[in-house]
Amino acid sequence: MNKRKLGNSNLEVSALGLGCMGMSFSYGPPADRQEMISLLRTAVDRGITFFDTAEVYGPFTNEELVGEALSPISDHVVIATKFGFKLNPDGKPGWVGLDSRPEHIRQVAEASLKRLKIEAIDLFYQHRVDPDVPIEEVAGAVKKLILEGKVKHFGLSEAGVQTIRRAHAVQPVTAVQSEYSLWWRAPEEELLSTLEELGIGFVPYSPLGKGFLTGKINENTTFDSSDFRNRLPRFTPEARQANKSLVDLLDRIAESKKATPAQIALAWLLAQKPWIVPIPGTTKPERMEENIGSVDIELSMDDLSEIDCAASKITVQGDRYPEELMRMTGR
């Protein structure tokens, strides 16, 4: 597996990471725990060194899973987790608001360290920007944790460029995580140029459009009642039918490269910048192998121009999140 550095930091990770959320949370019932431990360890054997989790995934159960699977080899992997949500007091999935007060950040860090069974969190993201807490206070709180050796690197998730600049001035930001794929290209408007200027790495989540860009989902696909895609405007049957042309484009390119649509979608992301590290998630070993294969696909400048030209003629239907979740992005 090729390696990449996240921006100007010394944090080197595999060119492709693994998003772990779906193993425990959001995409239907949790997967079998032992199977997921096996999958995580197989990922390491296959060269993946970058793993993404968060306390809110479960809550807590995803961090516990990642900790059990990877703590014996934590010196050889990079584990990213997140703070910033106020969780349901009864322990049910979901959250009741945001909370990035410095004292809460410290509490989350201490608890995450225990669940992950590690001495220091490699990359600690603010999960969503909290409008009630100045980002300078957030960055300062993480800076203290870094000085204490409990955290190694600071990250932001779904933050706007001004917030990123303000945070970076207090504590250098190693990575920003936001959604980015061929069907959500908003980061190209100003985020990517800001990250390049500041020397910050970019970690696209949902690089396969929450499964849609794999070509395995159509307007007739049904999701489990606990699958959060049921709530997403982009996943209504009508939107899925309308957005099929994007998958058809990937299919056409994939055929010429003897690859799959998912591999082309990931290869396209990897070709955008050398400091971009996508984190596709999966619960299936065969899908993980398929995703890993994307690292070896070379897209020429002509290929990239063809994809961009064809994609520019496609208008993607449906918002990526419901309105209340959209309000929590880009702050």
Which residues are within 8 A (CB) of 60 and not within 5 positions of it... i.e. 6 or more apart?
Answer: 115
Round the average pLDDT of the chain to a whole number and report it. 97
Q: How confident is the model at residue 94 (pLDDT cuts 50, 70, 90)?
A: confident
Q: What average pLDDT does this structure show over 84-106?
A: 94
Per the annotation, the verdict on 321 as an active-site residue is no
CA–CA distance, 69 with 117 (Å, rounded to integer): 10
Please say whether the beta carbons of 51 and 80 come within 8 A: yes
Q: Write down the catalytic residue from 57, 125, 205, 321.
A: 57
Q: Is 106 within 8 Å of 138 (Cβ atoms)?
A: no
pLDDT at 90: 85
| Alpha-carbon gap, residue 232 to 308, rounded angstroms | 25
Strand-pair category, 121-126 with 201-205: unpaired
Q: Which residues are within 8 A (CB) of 178 and not within 5 positions of it... i.e. 6 or more apart?
A: 157, 158, 159, 187, 191, 202, 204, 205, 329
The mean pLDDT of 266-272, rounded to a whole number, is: 98
Percent pLDDT > 90 in the chain is 98
Q: Residue 207's pLDDT is what?
A: 98
| Arithmetic mean of pLDDT, 191-208 | 98
- Are 181 and 204 in contact, with CB atoms under 8 Å apart? yes
Taking Cα atoms as reference points, which of 286, 239, 236, 242 lies closest to residue 262?
286
Q: Check residue 264 and give its pLDDT.
A: 98
pLDDT in tens, 117-167: 999 999 999 999 999 999 999 999 999 999 999 999 999 999 999 999 999
Residue 318's region, left for phi above 0, alpha for psi from -120 to 50, else beta, is left
Structure tokens at 87: 């969780």
Q: What is the pLDDT of residues 46-80, one digit of tens each?
A: 999 999 999 999 999 999 999 999 999 999 999 99
Please state, in angstroms and rounded to a whole number, the distance separating the CA atoms of residues 250 and 10: 34
The pLDDT, as a whole number, for residue 79 is 98
pLDDT in tens, 280-321: 999 999 999 999 999 999 999 999 999 999 999 999 999 999
pLDDT score, position 225: 94
Query: Is it true that domain 3-208+272-296 has CATH number 3.20.20.100?
Result: yes
Calculate ∠ Cα 52-79-118, nearest 5°: 135
So what's the pLDDT on residue 257?
95
Report long-range pairs for 260-263 (Cβ below 8 Å, ≥24 apart): 260/214, 260/215, 260/290, 260/293, 261/213, 261/214, 261/215, 262/208, 262/213, 262/214, 262/215, 262/287, 262/290, 262/291, 262/294, 263/290, 263/291, 263/293, 263/294, 263/297
Whole-prediction pTM value? Answer: 0.97
Q: Provide φ and ψ at 147, rounded to 5°.
A: -65, -30
pLDDT value, residue 46: 98
- How many Cβ atoms are within 10 Å of 162's Cβ, its own excluded? 12
Q: Are 123 and 153 in contact (CB under 8 A)?
A: yes
pLDDT tens-digit readout, 222-264: 999 999 999 999 999 999 999 999 999 999 999 999 999 999 9
